[in-house]
A and B are shown apart, each in its own frame.
Chain A
C-alpha cells in the first residue's frame, strides 16, 4: 500500500494536519482554553509545567515543549505565555520555527487582559487554519514515518499475542526504513539483559542499564518498591505476577531489530530504526514523550482495555483479549484474539496491524481519534521547588 502525507517545509511528513495552541506554562492554560472555544478543531496542548522548575527537570520540559511544537503532524502552532515564566513563549516559538512551519506567539502580560489577547490570538489562528485548508497530501515513503508504541493495562494475552504481533508490525516499519520508539522504563526492569544484547553499541547498552538503574533508584528513594509500583492490581488479576514477567512480555512489542539508541524523554531520534525512550509507564506521560519525539502514529496494545487517545497522533488500539475486544468494541481498532484461540498465526496478526498502520497514516481515523480526546502530560522529574 502506498502512503501519502503533508509535506512540511523542513522535508518531514505529517500524517495529520493540525493547528495547535501550546502554552509555555500551565498558568496560560486558561487563555488557551478560551481561544480554543473559538476554534473547536484546533488542538489545545494544555499542560501543567513551565514554572518553578530547575536543572534537568527544566531542560526536560523545554525539550518536550519544543518537540511537541515540532511534531510533523502539526502544520502550525500558536505559543501562548504569560511573560513571567521560566521557559518564555518567544524562546519556544523561535526553536519551533527552525522547522520553518507556521509559528506565532502571544504573551498575555503584553496585552490589556483577556479581552485584548483573544482577538489577537484569534487572528493568528485564523490565518494558520486558512493556510492548512489549502494543503494537500503527497506520496511519501515509509522512512518518513515514526511510530510510538505503548502497552497499557497488560494482562496475560499481552505478552503472548498483542505485544509480539505489534512487534512484527514494528519490524515491518523498520525494514521499510522507518523509525519505531518504545519506552516505559519500569518495564525494562527484569528484561535489561535481553534488550542489551540487541544494542548497536556498547554506549547504548550502558545507557540502557543506566536508565533502568536510575528508575529503580527513584522508586527506592520515594520509599516504594518497583514491583508494587509497576505491577498493578489489574495486571495481577489478569495473570501477571512479577515485574520481570510484565517486562519480558512488554518488550515483545519492540520487535526483534537492533536497538539504535536510548533516547532521553522527549528527544527526537537523530536516525532511523528502533529506539528505546526513557519514559514512565503511565499513559499520558508516555504518549506525550512519543509525540515530542516526532511520532506521527501510535500503536497501543492493551489487555484489559484503555480508552487512551492523543491530540497530536492517532492511537491504534490492539487487543488479544476477546472479552476486551467485545466489551470495548467502540475503542479497539485491531482484534488479534484469534492468535489466542489458535485461529490465526501470529505473523498474520502482525501483518494486519501493519496494514492498519498504513491505512491510519493515509487518513483513516482510529476509534479514539473519532472520539476526539487526548491530553498532554509532561514527565516531571523533580519535585516542585518553588
Chain B
C-alpha cells in the first residue's frame, strides 16, 4: 500500500495538507519540492485537511503558504488534525 502523502507549500509552514484520508497512527510522508520527511499522525485526518508538522502552542500562529492563516485555540501536538476545532481566524478577533 502506498504511503499516504501530505503537501507542505513553504519552508516556514507548520502544517501540511493531506492528499488522502488517514487513520490514527499512520506514517505520513510530507513533501516539499524535492524533499520529503515523515510525521506520525496521532488523529484520524480526512483528505484535504491539515496535519501539524510540529507542536503548536495555544495562541501560536498557524502558517501555510509561508503566511499566517490563523491562530491555534488549543495546544496542538505534532501529528494532530488541524481544523476548525483548534484554529481560529484572526479576523474574528479584529472585527
B7 at the interface (CB under 8 A from A): yes
The residues of B that contact A191 with a CB separation of less than 8 Å are 67
Q: Are B48 and A238 in contact (CB under 8 A)?
A: yes
Where chain A touches its partner, the secondary structure class is helix
**Which residues on A sit within 8 Å (CB–CB) of B50?**
239, 241
A245 to B68, CA, bound (A): 8
Q: Mark B1-33, 1 if CB is under 8 A from A, else 0.
A: 000010101000000011100000000000100
Contact assessment for B89 and A244 in the assembled complex, using a CB-CB cutoff below 8 Å = yes
- Within 8 Å CB of A242, what residues of B? 69-70, 87-91
Question: Does B83 sit at the interface, judged by CB under 8 A?
Answer: yes
Cβ contact of B89, chosen from A155, A227, A340, cutoff 8 A = A227
For residue B15, give the distance in angstroms from its CB to the closest CB of chain A: 10
Interface contact B49-A244, CB-CB below 8 Å: no
Q: Cα distance A241–B90 when bound, in Å?
A: 12
Contact of B17 among A160, A226, A227, A341 (CB under 8 A): A160
Q: Nearest chain-A residue to B45 (Cβ)?
A: A239
Q: How many inter-chain residue pairs (CB < 8 Å) link A and B?
A: 77
Q: Which residues of A contact B90 (CB under 8 A)?
A: 190, 242, 244
Is B49 in contact with A156, judged by CB distance below 8 angstroms? yes
Contact, CB under 8 Å: A241 / B17: no
Do A241 and B19 touch (CB < 8 A)?
no
The count of residues in chain A whose C-beta lies closer than 8 Å to any C-beta of chain B is: 29
Asked whether A220 lies within 8 Å of B95 as measured between CB atoms, the reply is yes
Across-interface contacts of A216 in B (CB, < 8 A): 91, 95
For residue A72, CB closer than 8 A to chain B, the reply is no
User: Which of A190, A219, A242 has most chain B Cβ within 10 Å?
Assistant: A242
Residue A146 interfacial (CB < 8 Å): no
| A192 and B37 alpha carbons, distance in the complex (Å) | 32
In the docked arrangement, what's the CA distance between A132 and B85, Å? 58
Kindly supply a per-residue 1/0 record for chain B positions 52-92, scoring 1 wherever the CB is within 8 Å of any chain A CB and 0 otherwise. Answer: 00000000000011011110000000000011100111111
Residues of B within 8 A of A225 (CB): 91-92, 95
Determine how close the nearest CB of chain A comes to the CB of B36; give it in whole angstroms.
11
Chain B interface residue bracket vs A = 20 to 34
Complex Cα gap A220–B70 (Å): 20
Q: How far is B49's CA from A199's CA once the two chains are assembled, in angstroms?
A: 32
Q: Which of B17, B69, B70 contacts A156 (CB 8 A)?
A: B17
Complex CA distance for A314 and B85, rounded to whole angstroms? 40
Query: Would B91 and A156 count as touching, CB distance under 8 A?
Result: no
Instruction: Tell me the minimal C-beta distance from B52 to chain A in angstroms.
Output: 13
Question: In this assembly, does A248 line the interface, its C-beta being within 8 Å of a C-beta of chain B?
Answer: yes
Expressed in whole angstroms, the minimum distance between the Cβ of A249 and any Cβ of chain B is 7
> Which one of A226, A341, A342 contacts B95 once the chains associate, using CB atoms below 8 Å?
A226
B93 to chain A, nearest CB (A): 11
CA distance A213 to B92 in the complex (A): 14
Given A220-B95, A225-B95, A245-B70: A156 and B65 interface contact (C-beta under 8 Å): no
Q: How far, in angstroms, from A243 to B90 measured CA to CA in the complex?
A: 9
Given the interface pairs A241-B84, A248-B69, the reply to whether A160 lies near B9 with Cβ below 8 Å is: yes
Residues of chain A contacted by B5 (CB below 8 angstroms): 342
A241 touches B69 (CB 8 A): yes
Task: Return B80 CB to nearest CB of chain A, in Å.
Answer: 13
A159 within 8 Å of B by Cβ? yes
**Contact, CB under 8 Å: B48 / A155:** yes
Which residue of chain B has its CB nearest to the CB of A191? B67
Q: A-contacting residues of B (Cβ < 8 Å)?
A: 5, 7, 9, 17-19, 31, 46-50, 64-65, 67-70, 82-84, 87-92, 95
Of the A-B pairs whose beta carbons lie under 8 Å apart in the complex, a sample of 8, sorted by A's number, is A190-B89, A216-B95, A219-B95, A227-B89, A227-B92, A239-B47, A242-B69, A244-B70
Extra pairs beyond A216-B95, A226-B95, A342-B31 (13, CB < 8 Å): A157-B48, A160-B17, A190-B69, A220-B95, A225-B92, A241-B50, A241-B70, A242-B70, A243-B89, A243-B91, A245-B70, A248-B64, A248-B67
